[in-house]
Amino acid sequence: MAVQGTWLNLLEWLPLPAGKLLPAVIQDEASGAVLMLVDLNQEALELMSATGRVHYYHPAKRKVVAKGEASGHFQEVLEMRLNCRGDQLLLKVRPAGGACELGYQSCFFRRLTPEGWETVDPRVFDPDEVYPEIAFSH
Amino acid sequence: MAVQGTWLNLLEWLPLPAGKLLPAVIQDEASGAVLMLVDLNQEALELMSATGRVHYYHPAKRKVVAKGEASGHFQEVLEMRLNCRGDQLLLKVRPAGGACELGYQSCFFRRLTPEGWETVDPRVFDPDEVYPEIAFSH
C-alpha cells in the first residue's frame, strides 16, 4: 500500500544532479502492465516525493508535468525499485485511468505482426473528450 | 508463442538510423516482472531479428551483446510492442535464467523503504559461478 511518508526522503536516497535525467519504467501494480517509459529529473523527484504521484519530464513540452494533470488520470506511486547500477527506476503505480494520451491503458498498445505494427489493445477513453484543447502531433 | 519469422522484418517495420539508440523494456512474459531496461541500436535489432533472442548495446562494454552470451541466460523474444510515439519498445520474453548479472531474476531487485534501498528479491544464481571471469565494478 502507498505510504506517502516513504517517498519523503526520495532525494536523500537517490541524489540526482541538476540537469540529469533518470529513466523510469511505469508499471501497473495490479495488472503488471507496463504503462509508460519516462524520464525523471530533480524537479520530478521532488514533486513525486511531495505528492506521491508520478511526475516526469515531458520532452515535447520541455517541462515537468504531473501524469494526469490534464486528464485526471493520475498515477499513485505504490512502490519504487532501483536497478543494479543505480541509474534506472521502476515505479509500480495505481493508475486512475489510461496512461496513453491516445486513449489506451498503456502507451505500448501496438504489437509487431508479420504485416507490421497492429493495435491490439482496446481504447479505454476518448482522447478528444479527455484532451479537448490538445492538438496531437503524433 | 514465439514465431521467429515474425521478427525477420523487424528493421523493415522499425527503421533505426545508424548511431541511434532505442530504449527497450524487457518484461518476463509469464510473470509480468520487469527484468531490464536496455538500449538497442541497428546491430542489436538485426541480431534480434536473426536469432529471436534479446541483444542490446552494453554501455560498459561499448558493444552489442547477446543477453546470456556469458551466462547462458538467453531471453527468447515472444512479443514486441511499440509505444505511441514510435521511439520505445517493450519486449516480452521467456528468460532462460536470471537477468541481472548480480544474481537476481530482475535488475530491479531493490525497493525503497523509509531506511533506504533494500534488497527484497532472492538471488536465483551465484554470480561468481556464472561469471567467473568477470570482475564486477558495481
- B58 vs B134, higher pLDDT: B58
> Taking residues B19-27, what's their average pLDDT?
95
Residue A6, all three cell numbers: 516513504
pLDDT band at A69 (very low <50, low <70, confident <90, very high): very high
Which strand (E) or helix (H) includes residue B127? helix B127-130
Which positions in chain B touch A102 (Cβ < 8 Å)?
A: 84
Residue appearing with cell numbers 561469471: B131
CB contact under 8 A, A37 and B110: no
Longest alpha-carbon distance in chain A: 49
Output the CA torsion sign for B1, B4, B6, B7. positive
Q: Is A4 on the interface with B (CB under 8 A)?
A: no
pTM of this prediction exceeds 0.90: yes
* Tens of pLDDT, residues A10-61: 888 888 888 899 999 999 999 999 999 999 999 999 999 999 999 999 988 9
Interface test with B, best of A16, A27, A83, A91 (most B CBs within 10 A): A83
CA distances from A31 to A28, A123, B134 (A): 6, 17, 37
Q: How many other CB atoms are there within 10 angstroms of residue B1's CB atom?
A: 6
Q: Is residue A138 over pLDDT 50?
A: no
Q: Is residue B135 over pLDDT 70?
A: no
Q: Is A50 on the interface with B (CB under 8 A)?
A: no
CB contact under 8 A, A84 and B102: yes
* Tens of pLDDT, residues B109-119: 999 988 899 99
pLDDT at B4: 53
pLDDT at B137: 41
Position A57, amino acid = Y
DSSP-based three-state secondary structure for A46: helix
